[in-house]
Amino acid sequence: MNSSSVLSTRCWRPVRAMWVFAYGSLIWNPLMEFAAQQTATLEGWHRRFFHSHHLGPGQPEQPGRILGLEAGGTTQGIAYQLHEDQALTELRLLWAREMASGVYRPTWGPLVLGTGEVVTAIVFVVNAEQALYEADSTVPTVLRLAANAAGVFGSNADYIRALDDALNERGVADPYISEIARALR
């Protein structure tokens, strides 16, 4: 799927509920209008700090790390249902936010909502071919980088703590995120 095929009104028109899966900053800072939100589980993908980031939570001389989803495992997050009449507008804004640097690859994924219903959602997964991809997402590496990285959107440590707080507020457990956040507090 490329961005032009999703955003072109000639190629795509929403005919029913459109869902977006949030597993990182979209949880606490969605910046989009939505009709509903629910806790959701995505099978086959796990959340890790795979992307070196020179903006937002970092700078070129001290890059931070942002999240990506890589194949394998399970991830819990938040599913946002877009308003049908606003879906195209919201997707354009989402694309501007998430796809500008090329660190993600959009795909469709089945989510199990908190109600047990299964829906298909847009999911932004890691683009391992992108230059900012970093295979080493171990806790010690992320801690070393995140402890001192800061950029125009604040510190990388604040980003990680905000994610941990947002997950905890929603009853979502992620030991990897919690371990890093605890060490950064």
56 falls within a domain: yes
25 falls within a domain: yes
Query: What's the pLDDT band for 12 if we cut at 50, 70, 90?
Result: very low
45 falls within a domain: yes
CATH of the domain at 130: 3.10.490.10
Is a pLDDT exceeding 60 seen at residue 160?
yes
Is a pLDDT exceeding 50 seen at residue 5?
no
Is a pLDDT exceeding 60 seen at residue 3?
no
132 falls within a domain: yes
The total number of structural domains in the chain stands at: 1
Closest CA to 26 of 175, 176, 167: 167
Q: Where are the alpha helices (DSSP H) in 66-133?
A: 87-98
Give the 3-state secondary structure of residue 156.
helix
Residues 6 or more apart whose CB falls under 8 angstroms from that of 86 comprise 33
Q: Which helix (H) or strand (E) holds 24?
A: none
pTM reported for the whole predicted model: 0.84
- How is residue 54 written in tokens? 């020179």
Active-site positions read: 98
pLDDT in tens, 55-85: 555 555 667 888 999 999 999 999 999 998 8
185 falls within a domain: no
More confident call, 101 vs 90: 90
What is the radius of gyration, based on Cα positions, of the chain?
A: 16
